[in-house]
Amino acid sequence: DALPILTPFCLTLTSITQEQVDAAPGFREAIDLLRAFMGSTPMLFCSWGEYDKTQLERDAQFHGVELPFDGRHFNIKQAFQTGKRKFSVESGLAKLGLTFEGVQHRGIDDARNIARFLHHVTLPGE
């Protein structure tokens, strides 16, 4: 897996450094680590919108890797929104009386904040 060279825009947006990218596992290895972490426990892939799901599928196809999810996806953004109002993660948290913790657009911080919505939406099968 060739490691990408981050653009100045990406470096500023995420606060991730090129050194961190260079030291990180490639896509195949990261998916193997995720698969090992998940074990045989069934998991529901959740995200804020469809972008992350679509991008993961594209990356998996590009790298010839099967994702460890069974294809089910829960769009938390769609489940949280009411009426025509569109919420960002930050404005959705504010509606709940919460503030974004960490750095926006940094994967781990985004994931942790998005997970905070799970107590406020109805998951499939509930």
Q: How far apart are CA 54 and CA 60, in angstroms?
A: 10
Contact 83, 93 (CB under 8 A): no
Smallest CA-to-CA distance from 91 within 106, 73, 77 is with 77
Q: Which amino acid is at 103?
A: V
In the chain, pLDDT over 90 holds for what percent of residues? 62
Average pLDDT of the chain to the nearest whole number: 90
The two structure tokens encoding residue 38: 């998940």
Query: Could you tell me which residues come within 8 angstroms of residue 112 by beta carbon, excluding any fewer than 6 positions away?
Result: 101, 102
Alpha carbon distance 57, 37 (integer Å): 19
Distance (Å, whole) CA 93 – CA 108: 16
Q: Which two tokens stand for residue 44?
A: 């529901």
Q: What does the pLDDT average to over 26-40?
A: 93
Q: What is the DSSP letter of 96?
A: T
> Quick one: DSSP state of residue 83?
T
pLDDT at 2: 62
- The per-residue pLDDT for range 44-103, each reduced to its tens digit, is 899 999 999 999 999 999 999 999 988 889 999 998 888 888 889 999 999 999 999 999
CA dist 24 and 29 (Å) reads 9
Model's pTM, two decimal places?
0.81
